[in-house]
Amino acid sequence: MYSLKWCLLAGYAAVLSGCGGGTSVDQTSVMQEEQKKVLLPPEEGKLYFGAFPDFGGSEETVTVQRIRSFETLAGKKIAWAVFSQNWYSGIIYPKADIDAVVRSGATPYVRLMPRSDEIQGHAEQMFSMQHIIDGMFDEALRRWAQAAKRDGIALLMDFAVEANGDWFPWSGVFNGAAGTDGYGDPNYPDGPERYRDAYRHIINIFREENVTNVTWFYHFNLASLPDEPWNQPMYYYPGDDYIDWVGFSAYGPLQVTEEWEGLLFSEQLEANAGHIADLHTNKPFAVLEFGMTDHHPQGDKSVWFDDAFTTILDNPYITFRAINPWHEDWENEDETLSTLRVDSSPEVLATFREWIADERFISELRFE
């Protein structure tokens, strides 16, 4: 249990971990506990169309207007809207953000992000995978789960995305990497094993609280960095008993200085299809992030979108059941912008709208 003593020693305000304080939940919102709300795949041949509709650099500036603006650009409603719940803002049920998404007519997709800041490339001291496993945040997580249960809103959720990359603080690189003698099974790489067990720990808390209105996603990066045997997606996967949907991020060049070669969506999928197969899962698959920067000297963003959509709709490796384009311009460390918005040029927007208009991309979700 996360104690008050730990809060004081860590020097964090109670709001960060739920050690007292937190936002109130509408007590009149009562969940129909007998109704399980887990996302089903769409009808055969269809794909859900969700999106990150530019909720800002922190990924948590959630408004109805931002969703509406993206839908106007796309020419179609979105099925879900993705935003992040950064733990540096508190491990607190984000009721206002969830309510805003619901008012827009979309389903909330919440990313639990266990980080103390947005700086990449370093280990996390506060919200480490080991601290989660050790139960230091159980009290706050349990209140989060209880609030979700009371609200009764169908939620899509994932935890600590792209752990097989080397940028986020929850990366396997920073949590034991390839070592096998620091945690758990001596035949299992410690970095992925800690991530797997931390995710299982969180889901188990939600199960103990009888939360039945959450669909859990496992979200990895298509290309593992570093691309070493210990760092492949299968080692991070919590397992079919815990996860409802599986998905990945796949980006083209994110800066104009990055090489184009090998970064077409089709090329990345072909290169990593074996690692996907190694998951040995029959769960529905989604492309949970995709896009590229515009004005690249070696290639055209419209061409990249054409390749991505063509591959998503028809490839020999996997049947996709949902997509989630990433609509944002983010600032790089060198102060350049990665122009990922779908309207980064008139030509790119026209290409995106043409693909999204396809009747196979649908805006209504099905739940059991």
> What share of the chain in percent tops pLDDT 70?
90
DSSP 51: B
Q: Report the number of distinct structural domains present in the chain.
A: 1
Tell which residue, 312, 309, 298, 313, has the closest CA to residue 342: 309
Domain contains 15: no
Q: What is the pLDDT of residues 203-233, one digit of tens each?
A: 999 999 999 999 999 999 999 999 999 999 9
Is pLDDT of 59 > 70? yes
Beta strands in 25-120 (DSSP E): 39-40, 47-49, 52-53, 80-86, 107-113
The Cα–Cα gap between 24 and 76 comes to 34
CATH number at residue 227: 3.20.20.80
Give me the numbers of helices (H) and strands (E) for the chain, helices first please. 11, 15
The first and second tokens of residue 305, run together, are: 């979108």
Domain contains 122: yes
Tell which residue, 173, 307, 211, 175, has the closest CA to residue 251: 307
The Cα–Cα gap between 197 and 130 comes to 9
Is pLDDT of 304 > 80? yes
Domain contains 16: no
Q: What is the pLDDT of residues 310-367, one digit of tens each?
A: 999 999 999 999 999 999 998 887 888 899 999 999 999 999 999 999 999 999 999 9
Containing structural domain, residue 80: 30-367
DSSP 76: S
Neighbours of 315 (CB within 10 A): 15
Residue 332 is predicted with a pLDDT of 83
Is pLDDT of 28 > 70? no
Is pLDDT of 297 > 50? yes
Residue 35 is predicted with a pLDDT of 54
Beta strands in the chain (DSSP E): 39-40, 47-49, 52-53, 80-86, 107-113, 155-159, 214-221, 245-251, 285-291, 320-323, 326-327, 329-331, 337-339, 361-362, 366-367
Domain contains 85: yes
Buried b (16+ CB within 10 A) or exposed e, 80-114: bbbbbbbbbebbbbbbebbbbbbebbbbbbbbbbb
Domain contains 285: yes
Is pLDDT of 3 > 60? no
Tell which residue, 103, 84, 202, has the closest CA to residue 144: 202
Residue 206 is predicted with a pLDDT of 98
pTM: 0.91
Peptide bond into 226 cis (omega under 30): yes
Domain contains 187: yes
Is pLDDT of 255 > 50? yes
Residue 331 is predicted with a pLDDT of 85
> What share of the chain in percent tops pLDDT 90?
88
Domain contains 17: no
Domain contains 310: yes
Q: What is the pLDDT of residues 118-162, one digit of tens each?
A: 999 999 999 999 999 999 999 999 999 999 999 999 999 999 999
Q: Which of 24-38, 79-93, 99-113, 303-317 has the lowest mean pLDDT?
A: 24-38
Confidence of residue 36 (pLDDT cuts 50, 70, 90): low
